[in-house]
Amino acid sequence: MRLSSKLRNDLTGWAFIAPNVLGFLAFTLLPILFSLAISFTDWDYTQGLASMRFNFGANFVEMWQDKWFVDSLRNTTVFAFSVVPVTIVLALAIAVLVDRFAYFKKPIRLMLFMPYVSNVVAISIVWVMMYAPFGPFTQAVKALGISDPPKWLGDFKWALPAVIIMSVWASVGYAVMIYTAAIQGLPKELYEAADIDGASEVRKFFSITAPLLSPTTFFLVITNLIAAFQVFGQIMVMTRGGPGTSTHVLGYYIYTAAFSFYRMGYASSIAWVLFLILLGVTLVQWRGQKRWVHSY
């Protein structure tokens, strides 16, 4: 039996995408569905599947009385809404200053981008040493005349701000590169007209650059928020959630609930709460994109 030309083309196309589809099913879709199923169970995975007991959503009720979860949610929210605005403002300022006034622009941009592409474990270890009693941060505070400087990562009040500072430093380079690409695409005629009118650099920034970069800013806010809500690496290396619950975040609590307390079902329920938060952020992004499409 001979196959028609159209059927042969269809089969060839399906054959090419089959590995990707099978990989998605095996390593993405099925694990997602499995995690949703076990989020309604009490399951110590070290005891095998036979120990799985359905609790019909009790995990989702329990977590709101769980101090570790509540503190983790609060810390994650504080982290995200501290890192993102500071990163965006710094990146915009740096991108404009480098584009308008800097010499050796490409090397400067490369240096700014290096922390973003570096391994988070490596840079976290470096920052642990920088926060140490002999590190530059502590020594700088002492040089200002403060005899009892903060303990940084060992201080309940200072640990989260210390991680926030490190995270801003690590992520600002990416935002600078995105802003740089957007700035280079801005219409030069507007700046020439502003120069003719005698507008200052500050006036040009607030009247031309910032408004035209608002879609880029919106994109960076959404993507950085999603990344910030999933913070894990620097917490794992620098503080392990401590002191106390001061730096416990949702990503780290999911890890400890699953692999330290062996409560895989409870960890999955927390993961789904995090998923719903990120879904809400994504929906905001979609609505915002539609608005920008209709505006431009």
SS (H, E, C) the chain: CCCCHHHHHHHHHHHHHHHHHHHHHHHHHHHHHHHHHHCCEECCHHHCHHHCEECCCHHHHHHHHCHHHHHHHHHHHHHHHHHHHHHHHHHHHHHHHHHHHCCCHHHHHHHHHHHHHCCHHHHHHHHHHHCCCCCHHHHHHHHCCCCCCCCHHHCCCCHHHHHHHHHHHHHHHHHHHHHHHHHHCCCHHHHHHHHHCCCCHHHHHHHHHHHHCHHHHHHHHHHHHHHHHCCCHHHHHHCCCCCCCCCCCHHHHHHHHHHCCCCHHHHHHHHHHHHHHHHHHHHHHHHHHHHHHHHC
**Closest CA relative to residue 252, chosen from 233, 268, 266:** 233
pTM for the model: 0.89
pLDDT tens across the length of the chain (296 residues): 566 778 888 888 899 999 999 999 999 999 999 999 999 999 998 898 888 999 989 999 999 999 999 999 999 999 999 999 999 999 999 999 998 888 888 899 989 999 999 999 999 999 999 999 899 999 998 998 888 888 999 999 999 999 999 999 999 999 999 999 999 889 989 888 988 888 888 898 889 998 899 889 988 998 999 999 999 999 999 999 999 999 999 999 999 999 999 999 999 999 999 999 989 888 887 777 666 555 55
**Tokens 């789904």 identify what position?**
272
Question: How far are the Cα atoms of 98, 101, 160, 168 from residue 77, in angstroms, in the given order?
Answer: 31, 36, 12, 15
Q: Domains in the chain, start-ordered, CATH in brackets?
A: 58-295 (1.10.3720.10)
Please give the pLDDT value at position 257: 95
CB 251 within 8 A of CB 241: no
CB 34 within 8 A of CB 28: no
